[in-house]
Amino acid sequence: MPETITFYLFAALAIGASVLVIGQRNPMYSVMLLIASFGALSGLYILLDAPFVAIAQIIIYAGAIMVLFLFVVMLLNAPREDAAEWDRTHPLRQPGVTRWGTLLAGLLIVQLAWALGKMTDLKAPVATKTDAATVSSVTELGRSLFTRHTFAFEATSILILVAMVGAVVLARREGDQ
Q: Which residues here bind other proteins, judged by CB under 8 A? A: 28-29, 32, 35, 51-52, 55-56, 58-59, 62-64, 67-68, 70-71, 74-75, 79, 136, 138
Cβ neighbours of residue 8 closer than 8 Å, sequence gap 6 or more: 125
Residue 35 host element (H or E): helix 27-47
Q: Work out how close the CB of 157 gets to other proteins at its nearest, in angstroms, rounded to a whole number.
A: 15
Taking alpha carbons only, the member of 26, 23, 4, 27 closest to residue 15 is: 23
Residue 67 or 109 having the CB closest to other proteins:
67
Helix (H, G, I), strand (E, B) or coil at 51: helix
Side chain identity, residue 24 = Q
DSSP letter at 70?
Answer: H
Residue 59 or 159 having the CB closest to other proteins:
59
Q: Work out how close the CB of 78 gets to other proteins at its nearest, in angstroms, rounded to a whole number.
A: 12
Q: Work out how close the CB of 151 gets to other proteins at its nearest, in angstroms, rounded to a whole number.
A: 22
Q: Work out how close the CB of 170 gets to other proteins at its nearest, in angstroms, rounded to a whole number.
A: 20
Q: Work out how close the CB of 107 gets to other proteins at its nearest, in angstroms, rounded to a whole number.
A: 37
d(CA 34, CA 153): 26
Residue 9 or 29 having the CB closest to other proteins:
29
Residue 87 or 131 having the CB closest to other proteins:
131
Residue 58 or 126 having the CB closest to other proteins:
58
d(CA 73, CA 145): 35
d(CA 70, CA 29): 10
